[in-house]
Amino acid sequence: MKKHLLKTEFGSLCGLEAEEAFIYLGIPYARADRFYYAWPVDTWKEELDATEFGPACPQFRQFFPQLDNPERLFYHREFREGMTFVYDEDCLNLNIYAPKDAKDCPVIVFFYGGGFNSGSNREQPFRGEEFAKRGIVTVFANYRVGIFGYMTHEGIEGELRRDGNFGLDDQRVAVRWVKKHIAAFGGDPENITLMGQSAGAISIQYLCLDHGNEGLFRRAIMMSGGGMFPKFALPRRAEKTREFWLQLMEVAGCRTLDELRALDVQSVLEAQQQMKSLRKDVTYNTMPVVDGYQLPDRVDRLIRHPLDVDYMIGFTNNDMYAPVMAHIGTKFGRANGAYLYYFDIDAPGDGNAAFHSSDLRYMFGQLSGSWRPYGERDYEASGQMMDYVANFARCGDPNGEGLPEWRHADRWHSAALCIRPEGTKMGHPSYLKMTRNMISKGNPKAGR
């Protein structure tokens, strides 16, 4: 691709010129020292090279790929095979895809999943050219994960008057950066849609529970992680997780927080990896906490009064805990007038049906980059999904010319769009029955 120079009031960027989009990669939106909250990067003096992806947050796969683990090997093959990743604690960067003639375009800001312990905006599905064709500016942001994103310690609270949630705070800083600067890329700062999948979707749910974010964005799309109602994976108070991190410090040979801040990255991740052989709750401790700041109260209380924004929530037929996803998503959707979708297209090539995250390639029009033998109907469904999302990002209503009507849910109806092209095989039968019962009757066991 040719290089493209963009001059802005905050500095010049050298990006790339694709057929129908300008692409700017690895733009630093913030800096952060270890176990400190990020501060925004608003200007730079020299021309910024935005032609290559920036580094991802250090994570277990950097030193412990463990490709003999079936689940990790599965997702490696789906989204990372053949790719080279760079990891660094200076990882708060974003990628922007803008239409060439962009002016006041709707903006989508996407946050990846990975269980709050892994992930990168470099992975294969995360490209924005197809949305650029639809007049949308798309932003993919990196944020801190694992110990670097969710460490808690009384010393952090004593020093910063907050504890944990560094990764969640990164996301808010990223959205604020976008709101402040996206006009230079042709985006409308008053029309921002947050979008995320899995942990990224849960993060967006948390951002929607903080009324300090009022006016920061207008819409939220949560893929396989919306709702979080009433008791599923509720975050604990920060002080309840500190015992876990103190044990990790002991494993790492660190007596103080400053010693852990100074420890090399590999040793830090080795300690986190060793904790998996000592405890079964590693994942539960490396996730957002009730910090009295971004999450000022228990989520099952906060969720009763979320931000008044437009919502879209979806899940897949073989999702993680698919009936639970259907339950929490539908209940939140009905209470908040969301557009619900049920993704029922089995991924071709194996027997894993519509597995957790299988909708990502469809959502960004990246089917051709996969080993799977996607067919004509898959490409049609992918185009339809992107049309719906582009319409939603424009005005809060996914409907448009040539698209099947999609009704939003309300307190009387659990309407959901079933994304399954005519003629394709039905998905996982038990999940299909339970989730359809959930959608239509509000009870996954109805009629059994």
Mapped onto helix, strand or coil, the DSSP state of residue 409 is coil
- Look-up: residue for tokens 């049609």? 380
User: Helical H runs in 80-196?
Assistant: 129-133, 146-150, 154-160, 166-181
> Cα 312 to chain center, whole Å?
14
Mapped onto helix, strand or coil, the DSSP state of residue 382 is helix
Q: Do residues 330 and 409 make contact, with C-beta atoms less than 8 angstroms apart? A: yes
Q: Do residues 376 and 424 make contact, with C-beta atoms less than 8 angstroms apart? A: no
- Look-up: residue for tokens 């003639």? 101
Nearest CA to 257 out of 17, 35, 420, 96 is that of 35
Q: How far is CA 10 from CA 6, 41, 178, 179, 184, in A?
A: 11, 10, 13, 14, 9
Mapped onto helix, strand or coil, the DSSP state of residue 48 is strand
- Look-up: residue for tokens 């004593």? 158
- Look-up: residue for tokens 């991924």? 347
Catalytic residue among 118, 120, 198, 224: 198
Q: Respond yes or no: is residue 198 known to be catalytic.
A: yes
Residue 248 to residue 89: CA distance in whole angstroms: 19
Q: Do residues 341 and 330 make contact, with C-beta atoms less than 8 angstroms apart? A: no
Q: Do residues 312 and 219 make contact, with C-beta atoms less than 8 angstroms apart? A: yes
CB-based contacts of 102: which residues, under 8 Å, 6+ apart?
Answer: 22, 132, 135, 137, 185, 186, 187
10: tokens are 């905050």
191: tokens are 């029309």
Most distant CA pair in the chain, distance? 66
Residue 222 to residue 258: CA distance in whole angstroms: 37
Q: How far is CA 346 from CA 23, 43, 124, in A?
A: 32, 46, 19
- From start to end of 261-323, where are the E strands? 310-316
Q: Are strands 219-223 and 187-197 parallel, antiparallel or unpaired?
A: parallel
28: tokens are 């630093």
Q: Give me the active site residues, please.
A: 198
